[in-house]
Structure 1
Amino acid sequence: MTQRATREMIVATADDLFYRRGFDHTSFADIATAVGISRGNFYHHFKSKDDILEAVIMKRLADRAGMTARWERQAPDPAGRIESFIHLLLVNGEKIREHGCPIGTLTSELAKLAHPAQPDAVRLFTLFREWLAIQFSALGQVEKADQLALELLSRSQGAATLYNAFQDRDFLEREVAAMKFWLRDVATTEAAHSTPQ
C-alpha cells in the first residue's frame, strides 16, 4: 500500500471512530489497531491526534462540498437541491439513530472540550449554511436567504437530535415531510410575490 493510501485509510478510519465513539474517547492506539498498522508507521503519517482531527475535518469538508456539487448536477432547480439536503436525514437515518448527526456531535464535543479546532468544525455547518443561502437566493428569497438557511439547518439539527434520542422513525419521516412542505410554502410565497398583478 502506498503512503498516500495508508494516510487516507488512517483518516477514513479516524473519521468513523470519531463519529461512533467520539474524538475524546478514541486513542491513537484505537485508530492504529483498526487500520492494522504499527504505532511507528502511524507516527510516520501523524504526530498527534489533533493532526488527525484536522485531516478528518478537511475530509468532511471535501465530502460535503462534493455532495452539494452532486445535488447541483442532479437537481435542475434550487427547490430540488434544497430538498436533497432535507432528504439527507432519511438517507443517513440509521447512522443518525445510532450516533447522532456527524457534524453536530463533533462540533458539540469540541466545544465541551474547549478544543482549538472547534471553529474549524463549525466550518462544516458554514458550508451548508452558505450553500443553502445560495439556493434560497436562486429561489428568489435574496433578502431572507441566510435567515432561511439557518432556519432549515436548525430544523434539521433538531430533528436529528430528537431522532437519536427517541429512536422514532415515524417522527423523522414526519419532520422531513414538514420541512418539504415548509420549503414548498417558501417557494410558493416568493412565486406569488414575483407574479405581476
Structure 2
Amino acid sequence: MGNAATREHIVDAADQLFYRHGYEHTTFSDIADVVQISRGNFYYHFRSKDEILDAVIKTRLKQTQELLEQWEADAEQPADRIRSFIHMWFANRADIALYGCPVGTLTTELAKLDHTSQRDATALFTLYRSWLRRQFTLLGRGADADALAMHLLAMSQGVAAVANAFRDEDFIAHEVTKMCEWLSSYTDDAERGTPDTDESHNRS
C-alpha cells in the first residue's frame, strides 16, 4: 500500500472511530489497530490525533461538497434536491439510531472540549445551510430561505438526537415522511405562486 493510500486508510478508520466512539475516547492505538500498521509508520503520516482530526474534517467537507453536487446533477427541481437531503436521514437510519448524526455528534463533542477544531467542524453545517438556502431561494422563498434552511437543519438534528436516544429507526422513517410533507407545503405554494410572506408558514 502506497503512502497516499495508507494515509487515506488511516483517515477513513479514524472517521469511523470518531463517529462510533467519539473523538476524545479514540486513541492512536485504536486507529493503528484498525489500520494494522506499525506505530512508526503511523507517525510518519500523522504526529498527533489533532492532525488526524483535521484530515477527517477536510475529508468530510470534500465528501459533503461532492454529495451536494451529485444531488444537483441528479435533480432539476430544487424541491427534489431538498428531498434528497431529507431522504439521506432515512438511508442512514441504522447508523443514526446507534450513533447519532456524524456532523452533530462531532461538533457537539468538540464544543464541549472547547477544541480549536470546533469551528472547522461547524463548517460542515454551514455547507448544508448554504446549499439548502440556495435551494429554497430557487423555490421562490428568497425572503425566508435562510430561516427555512436552518429550520430543516434543526428538525433533522432533533430527529437524529431522539432516534439515537431511543435507538429507534422507525422514528426516523416516520419523521422523514413528516419533513417531506412540510417541504411539500412550500412546494405547493410555489406552484400556486403564493407570496413568500405567507404567515401560515410560521409553523413547525
TM-score range, shorter chain: over 0.9
Per mean C-alpha deviation after superposition, the further-off stretch among 186-195 and 125-134 is: 186-195
Instruction: Name the counterpart of 1:143.
Output: 143
Moved runs in structure 1, 4+ residues, more than 6 A? none
TM-score (norm 1): 0.96
* Matched residue type, 1:37: I
Shift in Å, 1:170:
2.8
* RMSD over aligned Cα atoms: 1.1
In structure 2, what is the Cα distance between the partners aligned to 1:3 and 1:193? 56
User: What SS does the corresponding residue of 2:87 show, helix, strand or coil?
Assistant: helix
Q: Aligned ranges for residues 96-111 of structure 1 at < 5 Å?
A: 96-111=96-111
Shift in Å, 1:75:
1.2
Per mean C-alpha deviation after superposition, the further-off stretch among 160-169 and 5-14 is: 160-169
Shift in Å, 1:194:
5.3
Give the conservation status (yes or no) of the 8 Å contact 2:72–2:81.
yes
1:66 maps onto 2:95 in alignment: no
Shift in Å, 1:177:
0.8
1:164 maps onto 2:159 in alignment: no
Instruction: Name the counterpart of 2:2.
Output: 2
* Matched residue type, 2:190: E
* Matched residue type, 1:179: M
Q: Deviations over 1:43-85 (max 9, x none)?
A: 1111110000000000111111111111111111100000000
Instruction: Name the counterpart of 2:13.
Output: 13
Residue identity over aligned pairs, in percent, reads 52
* Matched residue type, 2:36: G
User: What SS does the corresponding residue of 1:47 show, helix, strand or coil?
Assistant: coil
Instruction: Name the counterpart of 1:85.
Output: 85
Instruction: Name the counterpart of 1:76.
Output: 76
Unpaired segments ≥5 residues, structure 1: none
Unpaired segments ≥5 residues, structure 2: 196-204
